[in-house]
């Protein structure tokens, strides 16, 4: 894209297993605190996995009127909460966001899974007439963006990315291109998910994708470790306010980082497994770096996808080595999923926040539980403790079911 406008991040909002604000979540991942614990939301009898990254101590009534609590799925409530926080952090309101020149893209891998389960239970008890009229609107994945757009009168572009674990990154990357191309000035983007439900846990278990380390929940998510046995599912939402640079400067906005590149590729191979080798992930990283007008050796830090599954971590490490060559030994890499668990479609939004904060503050969040590194995973994963280091350019990588890859590039802001 030639003559594209510069795009900066001016607001952060998050609801996560490690904190119910962007600031709290960032402080806790820097301290190496895990948000994984026993599932409390439903009876886990009969389930192989009984742990997850649940959002804790969340006051929904601070963001949603009481009458709406039973009308909205939890993923929508998380999105409304994160949008309130992100817009307040950016010092924007419905009147100042831009109206026709402001939009939103909020991704979700699954949407309102809990609402679907509740509707099916009602149907089984009493037939179609027992289904709530709010059941389908609560379940539709695009209605997180729909509710947020209504709340803030965002009348510009609206969309919902549903590319599994890459949905949040695709939402941010697509929003970046919309602003860079001149189709909007402000975009609220990221991902929301609330799939810690009986069907969510059971479905991923039969795929043999999740950790069974139920007796040590805080140690269950262990990316790049030899003893990893699967991902830990979690929930929440991460949203960022993206803004055209001059608009942000003119109003004196705080700027966390600049988004300068975006890559999106497909493996075109398998629904759940990466292709032999590492071509899809490597191409996506290269495309993002090329889009940013940078070289591989310009990258200082990668917030890795790092799911703690046996295949993914080795696959991602091989892709990094392919793209960066000898420079891969000099790049700091961390998986914040070691603390948050895997938030599915919300992952990209939350990890974009962590990456922006890493760039802004010069702090590398750690990869906890990396006690016995896998011999195939032999790069610098910032084990156990955070480190201080200047970060000029960082990647945030996500790779999703269906072979959907998305990588964004953030740079320390220089006017």
Residues tagged active-site: 165, 305, 342
CA 356 to CA 347: how far, in whole Å? 14
CA 52 to CA 345: how far, in whole Å? 15
**Phi-psi region at 385: left, alpha or beta (left = phi > 0; alpha = psi -120 to 50):** beta
Q: Decide if 351 contacts 27 (C-beta within 8 A).
A: no
Cα-Cα-Cα-Cα dihedral sign, residues 15, 21, 23, 28:
negative
Q: Decide if 393 contacts 411 (C-beta within 8 A).
A: yes
For residue 195, the SS3 value is coil
CA 368 to CA 384: how far, in whole Å? 4
Angle at 156 between CA 150 and CA 157, to 5 degrees: 100
Residue 223 CA: distances (Å) to CA of 204, 316, 328? 18, 11, 18
């Amino acid at each position: 894209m030639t003559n594209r406008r510069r795009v900066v991040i001016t607001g952060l909002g998050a609801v996560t297993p490690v904190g119910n604000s962007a600031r709290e979540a960032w402080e806790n991942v820097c301290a190496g605190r895990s948000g994984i614990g026993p599932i409390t939301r439903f009876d886990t009898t009969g389930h192989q996995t009984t742990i997850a990254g649940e959002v804790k101590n969340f006051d929904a009534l601070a963001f949603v009127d009481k009458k709406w609590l039973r009308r909205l799925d939890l993923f929508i409530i998380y999105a409304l909460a994160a949008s309130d926080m992100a817009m307040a952090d950016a010092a924007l309101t419905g009147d100042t966001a831009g109206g026709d020149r402001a939009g939103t893209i909020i991704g979700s891998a699954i949407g309102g899974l809990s609402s679907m389960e509740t509707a099916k239970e009602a149907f089984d008890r009493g037939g179609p007439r027992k289904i709530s009229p709010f059941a389908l609107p609560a379940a539709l994945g695009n209605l997180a963006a729909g509710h947020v757009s209504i709340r803030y009168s965002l009348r510009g572009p609206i969309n919902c990315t549903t590319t599994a674990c890459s949905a949040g990154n695709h939402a941010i990357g697509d929003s970046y291109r919309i602003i860079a191309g001149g189709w909007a000035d402000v975009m609220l983007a990221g991902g929301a998910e609330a799939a810690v439900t009986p069907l969510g846990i059971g479905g991923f278990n039969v795929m043999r994708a999740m950790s069974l380390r139920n007796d040590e929940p805080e140690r269950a998510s262990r990316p790049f470790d030899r003893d990893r046995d699967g991902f830990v599912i979690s929930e929440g939402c991460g949203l960022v306010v993206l803004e055209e640079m001059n608009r942000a400067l003119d109003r004196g906005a705080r700027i966390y980082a600049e988004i300068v590149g975006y890559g999106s590729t497909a493996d075109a191979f398998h629904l759940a497994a990466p292709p032999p080798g590492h071509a899809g992930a490597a191409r996506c990283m290269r495309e993002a770096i090329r889009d940013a007008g940078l070289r591989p050796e310009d990258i200082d830090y990668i917030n890795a996808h790092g799911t703690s599954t046996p295949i993914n971590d080795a696959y991602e490490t091989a892709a990094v080595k392919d793209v960066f060559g000898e420079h891969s030994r000099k790049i700091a890499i961390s998986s914040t999923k070691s603390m948050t668990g895997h938030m599915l479609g919300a992952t990209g939004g939350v990890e974009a926040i962590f990456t922006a904060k890493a760039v802004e503050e010069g702090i590398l969040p750690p990869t906890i539980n990396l006690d016995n590194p896998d011999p195939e995973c032999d790069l610098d994963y910032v084990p156990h403790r955070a480190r201080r280091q200047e970060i000029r350019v960082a990647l945030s990588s996500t790779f999703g079911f269906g072979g959907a890859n998305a990588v964004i590039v953030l740079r320390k802001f220089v006017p």
